[in-house]
Structure 1
Amino acid sequence: MHRVEHVMGFPVSLRVDDEGDFEPAGDRVFAWLREVDARFSPFKPDSEVSRLGRGELAESEVSADLRLVLDLCEHYRTATGGAFDIRLPGRALDPCAVVKGWSVQRAADLLKAAGARRFVLNAGGDVAAGGGPWRVGVRHPEQADKLCTVLDLTDGAVATSARYERGDHIIDGRTGRPATGLLSLTVVADSLTEADSVATAAFAMGPEGVDWAASLPGVEVFAVDAERRVLRTPGFPVAAADSRS
């Protein structure tokens, strides 16, 4: 099965290579992602996140799912000394950096529950996969038609935070200014919840975020800093035939 839909503002592709009918599972995956978009998008005025941000909901009244997301956001705010912060002065409440990875990981869990073993779910470049190895390319931070590395992903997830798609959109909450110390940072972890959150949180910290991310259990990192230097943990799963790194 191979399906592509545009959800949450980016293309989401799903491929399942197992035998059997996985169309119903695919339906559940995309229905869940559409539900997440409706409930948690800060760009939809009637979403739960927007209502909370405007003070129309108290934190004690939010859903269990949003409570979980907010707790994850607070964990990374504390862990980064405030560099990662979803409550920036003058800006709307925006937990997207956690919502994306968390929701796509839950979608991957729906596939596993349906019996899928060999699959890849790619949400705007962030990937959750099972039954690989799957070969995943990481876009060059300055040349859109080139890759800076290729990795082998078996059972796990990979996420990249960078400046090339949306400009300097990641803010260092400690300074209130855009984080510009890195060009891109890619994280491999067991779950996309962690990979995506850590990638954004570490990017917000700048170069020191590379060491912070690398210190986390089960996390591997590939980064390009503002000086065009490549920083890579020893366990980062670079594909055997890839020489770009």
Structure 2
Amino acid sequence: MTSTDRNYFERVEICMGTTFRFAGRSELGEVEVQNILSQACEILHEADRTFSLYKSDSPLSRLARGETRLADCPPVVAEIWDACDEWEKRTDGWFSAMTPQNTFDPSGVVKTWAAKRAAEYILQAGINDFTMNAGGDVWLSDELTSDQEWRIAISKPISIASSDHAILTVIDLKNTDYRALATSGSAERGDHIWNPKAAGKSAPTDLVQVSVVAKDLVTADVWATAAFAAGTRGIPLLAAVDGIEALFILANGDLAATENFQKLFAKN
């Protein structure tokens, strides 16, 4: 079956205070596709019910208030706790799920972790030609049929509410091993990333945005968060990591990038 025999689909889901978008093509029937997407979106909502610190009855909120123990939470909470510990080691301490108030807050990984699980569910259900946008972090499947869909835009670090919101550049991931792009910065959510190596302090202000390309979405997201928390020290930090490329926007307007990032720029 050729790509022209496939039906286009799109699903937009509001969850975790942001927007998730799935779009692609499938030879499956419309009802079956929407049922698959609904189940994938339920994975997102279940993660939100478990990990949201904005929902007072979530296991994580109860844990933060000292009303329960980690051992009494759903097993997935301990799984994410261990994953955050491992990422903290891999990032030399620049990614941490412990807030300045010593509260466990894995939001730096949960969104893309849940998004990755949702995408894997869709793939396992037989849909392999689609893209996923998880609140601005983008993942591409291996079998996209349109050359244009391999291209991802990186926005300037300006709030989406601004009339000046514009694209900084476009990268092309076709014929590469990369499938994901994640961006961290202060333009949309302000100073929401803390400096884990300076108790009680926000991330340095010498960096305003970091975009990381990787093979999977969680890897891209964690390294973008770690680099932003490190400020300009994140530039040599990411330069030493295999399997990723990154673009940095400094507070003075200058740009910096890892050695091979320029090879990803769309040619036309």
Please confirm whether the aligned pair reaches a TM-score higher than 0.5, indicating the same fold.
yes
Task: Confirm or deny: 8 A CA contact 1:101 1:197 kept in the other structure.
Answer: no
Alpha-carbon distance between aligned partners in 1 of 2:70 and 2:93, rounded to the nearest angstrom: 20
Structure whose alpha-carbon radius of gyration is higher: 2
CA pair 152-84 structure 1, distance change in 2 beyond 3 A? same
Alpha-carbon distance between aligned partners in 2 of 1:209 and 1:71, rounded to the nearest angstrom: 23
Structure 1 counterpart SS, 2:22: strand
Q: Which has the higher contact order (CA 8 A, sep 6+)?
A: 1
TM-score by length of 2: 0.83
Q: What residue in structure 2 maps to residue 17 of structure 1? A: 25
Q: Which runs of 5+ in 2 are unaligned?
A: 1-8
Structure 1 counterpart SS, 2:56: coil
Task: Confirm or deny: 8 A CA contact 1:53 1:92 kept in the other structure.
Answer: yes
Q: What residue in structure 2 maps to residue 178 of structure 1? A: 202
Alpha-carbon distance between aligned partners in 1 of 2:96 and 2:26, rounded to the nearest angstrom: 40
Offset at residue 174 of structure 1 (A)? 1.2
Amino acid at match of 1:29: A
Amino acid at match of 1:228: G
Amino acid at match of 1:190: K
Give a deviation string over 1:36-55, Cα, whole Å, max 9, x none.
11111111111121122222
Instruction: Say what the alpha-carbon RMSD is for the aligned residues.
Output: 1.9
Alpha-carbon distance between aligned partners in 1 of 2:267 and 2:79, rounded to the nearest angstrom: 38
Offset at residue 208 of structure 1 (A)? 1.5
Q: What residue in structure 1 maps to residue 168 of structure 2? A: 148
Q: What residue in structure 1 maps to residue 13 of structure 2? A: 5
Equivalent pairs, count: 241
Identical columns (%): 36
Task: Confirm or deny: 8 A CA contact 1:42 1:92 kept in the other structure.
Answer: no
Q: What residue in structure 1 maps to residue 5 of structure 2? A: none
Question: Are positions 1:120 and 2:131 aligned together?
Answer: yes
Of residues 207, 210, 232, the one that matches 2:257 is 232
Give a deviation string over 1:174-220, Cα, whole Å, max 9, x none.
11322122110011111111111111111111112122223222111
Q: What residue in structure 1 maps to residue 242 of structure 2? A: 217
Give a deviation string over 1:94-117, Cα, whole Å, max 9, x none.
110110111111111111111222
Structure 1 counterpart SS, 2:11: strand
TM-score by length of 1: 0.90
Q: Which runs of 5+ in 1 are unaligned?
A: none
1:1-245 equivalence runs, <5 A = 1-21=9-29, 22-90=33-101, 92-130=103-141, 131-132=143-144, 133-142=149-158, 144-154=164-174, 156-175=179-198, 176-179=200-203, 180-236=205-261, 237-241=264-268
